């Protein structure tokens, strides 16, 4: 593989396209996304719980659970953002009348050690946040 | 068609939330990777998931490339009467797949 890559490099004379910059979102971009979501209102800490390990061995698959401390009928949406991923928005969930609890669990990819943020928007317009700083030993592969 | 494992309780109590777990066999190619020749690998993920019980929404989820391969989803459902749980997911090619599970309320 390396030889083929080398040939490609030497024939094209261009190294740059083969070493793509590790594109990552920045906390500022995520803050902007959250501002879009929250709108005019303020965002408060609490009432939403992001359950994710603080030490992650393998970033390819990290189990996480988001739970909101409110009746499910009052929860408009749950969003999860990963600040260090190339595409920081992880998921958005909205609940209907047959939802049993304002809770959602899945497995996500993490590109690097970073802060993961969960934001819950309630029916009264208030927004709540929980964030977890975590360490990733083996990052999810973006490129090798 | 992709393989889906669905875990629901056979019998549930009226009005009491129960857990539904899904494991979908899908590569969830993020679109962020390149092949050996440096060409980008096209994105191919399940981008939307909708769960409906007897015609009314349980939840809707928008999924992005940060969801791990072979997505596992778990959530709670509440039922007042027996019925059918319908779970539909859509991938980037627009292919829709629907799985159902019967719920018996006692």
Domain boundaries of chain A, sorted by first residue: 20-138
Q: What is the pLDDT along chain B (106 residues), one digit of tens a residue?
A: 889 999 999 899 999 999 999 999 999 999 888 888 989 999 999 999 999 999 999 999 999 999 999 999 999 999 999 999 999 999 999 999 999 999 999 8
Q: Do B78 and A106 touch (CB under 8 A)?
A: no
The answer, for A33 touching chain B at a CB cutoff of 8 Å, is: no
Tell me the pLDDT band of A16, cut-offs 50, 70 and 90.
very low
Query: In Å, how far is A59's CA from the nearest CA of chain B?
Result: 9
Q: The complex's ipTM?
A: 0.91
User: A residues 62-81 near B, CB within 8 Å?
Assistant: 62-63, 65
Query: In Å, how far is B43's CA from the nearest CA of chain A?
Result: 12
Which residue ranges form the domains of chain B, and what is each CATH number?
4-31+42-105 (2.60.40.10)
Return d(Cα A73, Cα B3) in angstroms, integer: 32
For residue A93, give the chain B residue with the closest CA. B61
Is the pLDDT score of A35 beyond 60? yes
More confident residue, A143 or B96: B96
Q: Which residues contact B37 (CB under 8 A, 6 or more apart)?
A: A4, A8
**Looking at residue A26, what is its pLDDT?**
86
**Predicted confidence (pLDDT) per residue in A42-101, tens digit:** 899 989 999 999 999 999 999 999 999 999 999 999 999 999 999 999 999 999 999 999
Q: Comparing C-alpha atoms, which of B69, B72, B73, B74 is closest to residue B44? A: B69
What is the DSSP code string of A61-114?
Answer: -EEEEEEESS-GGGEEEEEEEETTSSS-EEEEEEE-TTEEEEEEEEEE--SSSE
CATH class given for the domain over A20-138 = mainly beta
């Amino acid at each position: 593989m390396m030889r083929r890559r080398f040939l490609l490099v030497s024939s094209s004379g261009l190294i740059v396209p083969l070493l793509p910059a590790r594109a990552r979102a920045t906390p500022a971009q995520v803050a902007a996304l959250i501002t879009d979501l929250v709108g005019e209102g303020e965002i408060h800490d609490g009432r939403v719980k992001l359950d994710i390990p603080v030490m992650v061995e393998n970033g390819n698959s990290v189990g996480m659970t988001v739970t909101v401390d409110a009746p499910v009928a009052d929860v408009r949406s749950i969003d999860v953002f990963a600040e260090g991923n190339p595409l920081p928005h992880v998921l958005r969930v909205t609940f209907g009348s047959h939802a049993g609890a304002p809770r959602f669990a899945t497995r996500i990819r993490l590109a690097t050690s970073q802060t993961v943020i969960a934001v819950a928007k309630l029916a009264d317009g208030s927004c709540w946040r929980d964030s977890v700083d975590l360490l990733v030993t083996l990052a999810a592969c973006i490129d090798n | 068609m992709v393989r889906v494992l669905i875990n629901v309780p056979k019998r549930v109590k009226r009005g009491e939330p129960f857990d539904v777990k899904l494991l979908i066999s899908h590569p969830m190619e993020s679109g962020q990777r390149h092949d050996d020749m440096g060409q980008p690998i096209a994105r191919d993920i399940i981008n939307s998931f909708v769960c409906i019980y007897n015609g009314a929404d349980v939840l809707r989820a928008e999924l992005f490339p940060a969801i791990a391969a072979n997505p596992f989803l778990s959530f709670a459902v509440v039922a007042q009467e027996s019925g059918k749980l319908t779970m539909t997911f859509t991938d980037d090619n627009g292919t829709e797949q629907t799985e159902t599970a019967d719920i018996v309320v006692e």
